[in-house]
Amino acid sequence: MKTLDGKVAIVTGAGRGLGRSEALELARLGARVVVSDLPVASGAGTEPSGADQVAEEIRALGGEALVHYGDVSDWDSAEVLIARTVEELGGLDILVNNAGISRPAMSFNMTEQDWDDVVRVHLKGTFAPTRFAAAYWREQAKAGSRLGGATVVNTSSPNGLNGGTPGHVNYSVAKTGINTITTALARELAPYGVRCNAVAPLAYTSMTESLWGTEILPSTRRPELEPANVAAVVGWLASPDSDPVTAKVLAVVGSKCVLWNSWAPVEEIHTDGAWTFDQIAESAPALFKQVDAGLPLEL
């Protein structure tokens, strides 16, 4: 008996890269998998999406796969993704929101399109499928036909944890937002037995091609920086074996897996009644007793 036997999983952006590995891992663990990606003709990036090939790989390993083409950031398309999964595979247990794009540019060069596309694909593209999955799980819980056990795994990034990377403001903001989607939905869906976590990966994929062989993705460490490394953690978070873990963001960087926490208060100062300019100017140094008042040393 495998840990995901009888479960149905969706992986978005599963035509290549991390999503492909995650779909294969969930299938290896026993799930029937919906391999979802953009239609081939509009595949984002430099190569066509290969959802059909990934589904074939799953079948060749003895698994069951369904291909679904659609844009995760399109509300109607997200609804169809969930409805079709439930209709054709008889339910939904695991949603891995992985689809993503990168449009790097310094802020003074960034186009409106670069900003809108990155924020849309990551934020709306994570929220929209989850919104319809959540409606399905709530309905099931109310009908008494499910006693929890559903899981969502979102995809953040080290750029969404480190306070933002120059040249990636759009992407850093979007990924930071995914951290908050993860914790907010974990709280909201807990009464329905749904757990929601995220990974912040680093891996050799077409998205990171410009970094291959650099100190960020050293070729000597390539085996541990392959997508399968991240997929193993996603498979665990998606499975009952990780219960009760929820509302967590795990950075998976090679052989290191780091639990991150959200913004936390550092220092507190007070005034009598409302602040005035002079009072804050006089008291502010006390806020920076423990931290450098300027840029953090490491970004």
Ligand X SMILES: NC(=O)c1ccc[n+]([C@@H]2O[C@H](COP(=O)([O-])OP(=O)(O)OC[C@H]3O[C@@H](n4cnc5c(N)ncnc54)[C@H](O)[C@@H]3O)[C@@H](O)[C@H]2O)c1
The DSSP line for 86-145 is HHHHS---EEEE---------TTT--HHHHHHHHIIIIIHHHHHHHHHHHHHHHHHHHTS
Residue with tokens 């929601």: 196
* The pair of three-digit structure tokens given for residue 204, joined into one six-digit string: 């050799």
Q: Kindly compute the dihedral angle of the four CA atoms of residues 168, 173, 178, 179, in this order, to the nearest 10 degrees.
A: 100
Interface stretch with ligand X, choices 27-35, 68-76, 236-244, 261-269 (CB under 6 A):
68-76
Does 18 help bind ligand X (rule: CB under 6 A)? yes
Interface stretch with ligand X, choices 59-67, 70-78, 181-189, 275-283 (CB under 6 A):
70-78
Query: What's the min distance (Å) between Cβ of 187 and ligand X?
Result: 23
Interface stretch with ligand X, choices 59-67, 184-192, 198-206, 284-292 (CB under 6 A):
198-206
Query: What's the min distance (Å) between Cβ of 159 and ligand X?
Result: 7
Integer angstrom CA distances of residue 70 from 43, 53, 90, 95: 10, 16, 20, 15
Does 202 help bind ligand X (rule: CB under 6 A)? yes
Does 254 help bind ligand X (rule: CB under 6 A)? no
Does 100 help bind ligand X (rule: CB under 6 A)? yes
Integer angstrom CA distances of residue 24 from 10, 53, 58, 212: 11, 11, 6, 23
Does 114 help bind ligand X (rule: CB under 6 A)? no
Q: Which 137-156 positions form the footprint of ligand X (CB under 6 A)?
A: 155
* The pair of three-digit structure tokens given for residue 288, joined into one six-digit string: 């920076």
Tell me whether residue 64 or residue 74 sits nearer to ligand X (CB atom).
Answer: 74
Using CB under 6 A, pick the residue from 85, 98, 182, 242 that binds ligand X.
98
| Phi, psi at 34, each rounded to 5° | -90, 115
- CB neighbours of 103 closer than 8 A, spacing ≥ 6? 113, 114, 117, 118, 170, 171
Does 12 help bind ligand X (rule: CB under 6 A)? yes
User: Letter for the amino acid at 18?
Assistant: L
For residue 259, what is the enclosing H or E element? strand 256-260
Work out the burial of residue 212: count CB atoms within 10 Å of its CB; fewer than 13 is exposed, 13-18 middle, 19 or more buried: middle
Does 203 help bind ligand X (rule: CB under 6 A)? yes
Tell me whether residue 22 or residue 140 sits nearer to ligand X (CB atom).
Answer: 22
- CB neighbours of 112 closer than 8 A, spacing ≥ 6? none
Query: What's the min distance (Å) between Cβ of 228 and ligand X?
Result: 12
Cα 120 to Cα 111: distance, rounded to the nearest angstrom: 14
Tell me whether residue 154 or residue 239 sits nearer to ligand X (CB atom).
Answer: 154
Query: What's the min distance (Å) between Cβ of 34 and ligand X?
Result: 12
Using CB under 6 A, pick the residue from 45, 148, 177, 254 that binds ligand X.
45
Using CB under 6 A, pick the residue from 8, 15, 25, 251 that binds ligand X.
15
Beta bridge partners of 95: 10, 152
Tell me whether residue 100 or residue 235 sits nearer to ligand X (CB atom).
Answer: 100
Using CB under 6 A, pick the residue from 107, 111, 206, 210 that binds ligand X.
206
Query: What's the min distance (Å) between Cβ of 280 and ligand X?
Result: 37
Query: What's the min distance (Å) between Cβ of 249 and ligand X?
Result: 12
Instruction: List residues binding ligand X (CB under 6 A).
Output: 12-13, 15-19, 37-38, 43-45, 49, 71-73, 98-101, 121, 125, 155, 157, 201-203, 205-208
